[in-house]
């Protein structure tokens, strides 16, 4: 019983800190209706900044008092995060006013990747210790009730108390001030303005994210998925296709290229067919499509079925031809985000843009790793990884603002201009 209570109290204290982060998420949603996927990256940015400024400021100013140094570091971090938030609003969100929720969600994903890379590039990626002066020794309570008493962390208690105080202050702000009530009214209008009988738009995107986490959980716990492998790694036998052994990189590449061309042509012709026109009608306005006789459920399920078939072929090729083995960790949430970024950069809704985005995502790490060395400016692998995150995040935001149709539209525009060059008239 004592162990259960210790775990319960510990979880509640940590939960208070999570509630503070969640309240910041809610505050952004109430104020702007933006489903902020960059909240975790903002927390990481602030935490790393606090850790480093608590070390740097006392050295810069010659301060010996730990409390004063931490207080100045906290004030600096708060000011820095205000500036970061203002730059995000002015540089990104202001240009996406009146855009749908999906576009805003993808923009916050790009911001998340950018802040993640920027924070680790500027402040470092090591493990840093923040000493705020709180007592760290645990205390033992209720010794008379339980044998040995309950062991609680004073540091967690102080942190939970501060978090509870901030949550209470923000709650009073929303309930008692005019600005807070106005923000609540805006959020209520947003919620009631979204049809509650069907999942679509932003909520459908979040539902697919939940499906990703469920599949990750399932494949890591269902032993038969990995053929009862204790390590979770499924090895493969030698591959052959139509009697030809796939034992060289060239043959594997030609197999993948052939299937890509076949499936790409199939998808292109399918989009032009009657079923493809049904998909586009449902995408544009499902209510109007239903009025003219298109069954939304059938159209949506067929789109997911065809997509799942193509993705299944791609997953098999990725695991057994490219990697040479299969494990659940190779297809986590990071891989899903990478595929999403590929589609955004290549062009949303463009079949031609998909291989363009894939080529960009594959070639960018190679460029970052090799070009600086060719120019005599070698950078570490870690720095290249952080720059890769920053570039991906920045490009996603730029494409969503300047050219939502991505590289495919840029290629189409360039091709049309080349047809007329050098006589544009």
Secondary structure, 3-state, the chain: CHHHHHHHHHHHHHHHHHHHHHHHHHHHHHHHCCCCCCHHHHHHHHHHHHHHHHHHHHHHHCCCCHHHHHHHHHHHHHHHHHHHHHHHHHHCHHHHCCCCHHHHHHHHHHHHHHHHHHHHHHHCCCCCCCCCCCCCCEEEECCCCCCCCEEEEHHHHHHHHHHHHHHHHHHHHHHHCHHHHHHHHHHHHHHHHCCCCCCCCHHHHHHHHHHHHHHHHHHHHCHHHHCCCCCCCEECCCCEECCEECCCHHHHHHHHHHHHHHHHHHHHHHHHCHHHHHHHHHHHCHHHHHHCCCCHHHHHHHHHHHHHHHHHHHHHHHHHHHHCEECHHHHCHHHHHHHHHHHHHHCCCCCCHHHHHHHHHHHHHHHHHHHHHHCCCCCCHHHHHHHHHHHHHHHHHHHHHHCCCHHHHHHHHHHHHHHHCCCCC
Report pLDDT for 197. Answer: 34
**pLDDT of 79:** 93
Q: Report pLDDT for 351.
A: 85
pLDDT at 290: 83
Q: What pLDDT does residue 75 have?
A: 92
> What is the model's pLDDT at position 239?
76
Would you state the pLDDT for residue 37? 79
User: What's the pLDDT at 198?
Assistant: 52
Note if the pTM is more than 0.75: no
Write down the pLDDT at residue 132.
Answer: 66
Task: Report, as ranges of residue numbers, the positions in the chain whose pLDDT lies below 70.
Answer: 1-6, 9-10, 13-14, 16-17, 30-33, 132-136, 139, 141-151, 154-156, 167, 170, 173-204, 224-225, 231-232, 422-425
Instruction: Summarize pLDDT for 328-359 with one digit per residue, the tens.
Output: 777 777 788 888 888 888 887 788 888 888 88
pLDDT of residue 189: 36
pLDDT at 192: 33
- How far is the C-alpha of 110 from the C-alpha of 220, rounded, in Å? 28
């Amino acid at each position: 019983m004592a162990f259960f209570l210790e775990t319960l109290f510990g979880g509640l204290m940590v939960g208070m800190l999570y509630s503070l982060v969640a309240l910041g998420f809610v505050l952004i949603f109430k104020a702007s209706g933006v489903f902020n996927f960059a909240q975790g990256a903002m927390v990481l940015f602030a935490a790393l900044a606090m850790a480093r400024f608590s070390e740097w400021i006392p050295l810069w100013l010659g301060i010996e008092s730990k409390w004063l140094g931490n207080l100045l570091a906290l004030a600096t971090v708060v000011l820095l995060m205000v500036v970061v938030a203002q730059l995000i609003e002015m540089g990104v969100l202001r240009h996406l006013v009146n855009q749908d929720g999906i576009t805003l969600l993808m923009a916050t994903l790009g911001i998340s990747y950018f802040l993640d890379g920027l924070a680790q590039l500027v402040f470092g990626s090591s493990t840093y210790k923040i000493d705020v002066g709180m007592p760290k020794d645990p205390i033992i309570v209720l010794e008379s009730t339980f044998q040995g008493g309950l062991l609680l962390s004073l540091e967690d208690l102080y942190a939970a108390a501060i978090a509870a105080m901030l949550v209470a202050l923000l709650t009073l702000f929303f309930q008692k001030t005019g600005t807070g009530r106005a923000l609540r009214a805006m959020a209520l209008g947003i919620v009631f303005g979204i049809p509650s009988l069907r999942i679509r738009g932003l909520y459908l995107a979040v539902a697919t994210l939940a499906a990703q986490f469920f599949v990750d959980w399932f494949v890591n716990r269902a032993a038969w998925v990995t053929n009862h492998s204790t390590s979770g790694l499924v090895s493969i036998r030698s591959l052959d296709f139509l009697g030809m052994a796939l034992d060289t990189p060239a043959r594997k590449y030609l197999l993948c290229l052939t299937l890509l061309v076949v499936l790409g042509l199939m998808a292109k012709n399918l989009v032009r067919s009657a079923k493809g026109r049904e998909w586009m009608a449902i995408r544009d306005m499902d209510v109007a499509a239903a009025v003219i006789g298109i069954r939304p459920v059938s159209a949506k399920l067929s789109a997911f079925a065809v997509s799942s078939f193509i993705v299944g072929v791609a997953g098999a090729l990725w695991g057994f031809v490219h990697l040479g083995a299969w494990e659940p960790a190779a297809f986590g949430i990071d891989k899903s985000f990478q595929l999403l970024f590929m589609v955004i950069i290549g062009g949303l809704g463009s079949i031609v843009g998909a291989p363009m985005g894939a080529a960009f995502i594959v070639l960018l790490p190679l460029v970052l790793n090799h070009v600086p060395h060719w120019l005599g400016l070698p950078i570490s692998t870690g720095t290249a990884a952080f720059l890769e995150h920053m570039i991906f995040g920045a490009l996603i935001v730029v494409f969503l603002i300047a050219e939502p149709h991505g590289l495919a539209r840029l290629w189409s525009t360039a091709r049309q201009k080349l047809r007329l060059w050098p006589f544009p008239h």
